[in-house]
Structure formats: structure tokens, C-alpha cells
Amino acid sequence: MEKVERGADALDYAPCNYGASRLICRGPRCDLDGDDYIAVLGGIETFGQFVERPYPARLEAALGMPCINLAAVNSGPDAWMGDQTVMDLARGARLTVIAVPGAHMLRNKFYTVHSRRNDRVVRQSEFMRRVFPELDLSQNFFVRHLLNDLFEASERRFAVVRDELQKLWVTRMNQLTARIGGDVILVWIGDRSPDDPTDTVCDGDPPFVTRAMLRSLRGRIRATIEVLDQSSTMEEALEGKHFAPDERDAALRVPGPRAHQNIADALRDAIAPLIGDEPDILSQLAQRTA
């Protein structure tokens, strides 16, 4: 099993994997019995880095139904669909929640990403070198760094890369929901709305995903929940997070406990009618476990 790096003051994430899966998920491991559970796919936000109780755990307490957190740090559609165990668990769930991933962490005709850590570049194509012949990209090991360099070299040529990623995102997400087969709820977690501009990876998360792209998705998508980061100060952004001093910048970029609770509340309200539970009972459970 790969090591999950933690600072001295960080939480114990009880990292685990399921079956033959090589994705390291947030623990503790969920014991499943039958198909009466909810599967949650996502990346670092859903994993809940620096947060004691991520939203899948809060949702489980509110619904009284197991919610298996299949999120792995910096994973995306390529990692999920490349892991048969994760796909089997999602396909067997009563419902699957997918945190909307950015479009930047997809293998494409310009570069290939790591099979599990989709934020890491493992190969750049000859086509990339032909489009950007003036750049030495041999030291660009992370997707965001690579894309920033491409944008600075040429906005016009970078637009070709961005368009490719956006088209691929729609294709891969449709493949993902088709393979899951059952009901899906999308949850948008970020610091920008799907209606905001997203020309570069610096324009906010999830990068390059637009409202039009969300509307292009097929499958049994029952709802799309949007939860934006409302932190207005650095103190608010760090409130309730556990991190070491050298992890401060990383901690600023992920949702805190308040955001996780807001996500869990919104998902509870969307899921309750689908699983047939009474809203007043769910509300009482949520108040007890908040």
C-alpha cells in the first residue's frame, strides 16, 4: 500500500483499500452487507484532508446508511474507471455520489497522467512537443505546473489543449456513469460556480468544467448539488482544520468542517426522497450528529 503523507499535527486518516483496489481511500474501512449503501467517489476534497469528519461520514450519520468513501487524493475518472474494485462497489451501491472532478487530470493526446495519482504527468507526447517546440517540459511532473507553463507560452495554443480536455471530460464522465449504471448525484465542490470563466487552472476549482459540460452528461443523474467555499478570510479558511505548519498552504485549498457539513446537509436533502426515508426523521438524525 502506498504511504499517505501526514504532518506531525495531522489526523490519522486510517487509510485503507478495498479488495484488490490499489487506491488508498479514507478510513476507517466500511463493512458492507448487501447493496444497501451509498458509494462516494471523489478526490482530495471528498477524502477530507485536514478534516476530522469528511462529508461522507457526516452523510452516513444523517441517513443511517453506510456511505463508503472511495475518494483517493488527487484521483479522477481515469483512476476510478481503471480500478475494477471501485467500479464494482459503485455499481453495487444503492446510489453513487460523484464529486465533480476537474478536466485537467485526464490522459489525453498531449500528456499521460499517473494511473492513480491523476495530478502527476508520467509522459508527454510527441504531439505536445510539436505544438510547443520552444519549451523544455522535461521537468514538468505535475499537471497544474505543466498547464501553467503552456498557457504562459501561448494562450492561443493553450486553448487547443483546454478544448481537448473539456471534450474528453464529457466523454469520460459519460463513460463513468454508464459503467456505474445506477442513480448518480453530482456534487460540485469548489471556489467557483460552473457559470464562472475557467480559462486557466488558476481560475478556480474544478478547473475547466462549465455549466454546459454538466448539462451534456447522460446517465441516471438525479441531481447536481453545488456547494461553494464561502470563506472570506484566511482564519475562516483554516478554521477546524488539522495540519502541520508546513501544510498551511495546502490546508487553505481544501474545504473545512463547515463546508463538509453543508455538503452533507445538501446531499441528505437530495438523497432522502430517492431512498424513501422520511424527511423529519432525517432532520432529527442530522441534529443529533452535527
Q: For every one of its 290 residues, what pLDDT tens digit does the chain have, with 9 covering 90 and above? A: 444 444 445 689 999 999 999 999 999 999 887 779 999 999 999 999 999 999 999 999 999 999 999 999 999 999 999 999 999 999 999 999 999 999 999 999 999 999 999 999 999 999 999 999 999 888 889 999 999 999 999 999 999 999 999 999 999 999 999 999 999 999 999 889 999 999 999 999 999 999 999 999 998 999 999 998 777 688 888 999 999 889 999 998 899 999 999 999 999 999 999 887 544 433 443 333 33
d(CA 166, CA 104) in angstroms, rounded, equals: 8
70 and 23 in contact (C-beta within 8 Å)? yes
Residue 84 per-residue DSSP state: H
d(CA 274, CA 253) in angstroms, rounded, equals: 32
8 domain residue, yes or no: no
261 domain residue, yes or no: yes
d(CA 266, CA 58) in angstroms, rounded, equals: 11
Q: What is the pLDDT of residue 287?
A: 38
Which amino acid is residue 61, in one-letter code?
A
153 domain residue, yes or no: no
Axis crossing angle, helix 155-180 with helix 143-153, rounded to the nearest 10? 150
15 domain residue, yes or no: no
211 domain residue, yes or no: yes
Which amino acid is residue 209, in one-letter code?
V
Q: What is the pLDDT of residue 283?
A: 42
**What is the extent of the structural domain holding 69?**
38-106+170-289
Q: What is the pLDDT of residue 139?
A: 84
59 domain residue, yes or no: yes
Taking phi over 0 as left and psi of -120 to 50 as alpha, with beta for the rest, 99 belongs to: beta
65 and 95 in contact (C-beta within 8 Å)? no
125 domain residue, yes or no: no
Which amino acid is residue 254, in one-letter code?
V
Helices (H), 94-154: 126-131, 143-153
143 domain residue, yes or no: no
Closest CA to 286 of 12, 16, 63: 63
Q: What is the pLDDT of residue 277?
A: 55
- CATH number of the domain enclosing 213: 3.40.50.1110
Total domains in the chain come to 1
Q: What is the pLDDT of residue 215?
A: 96
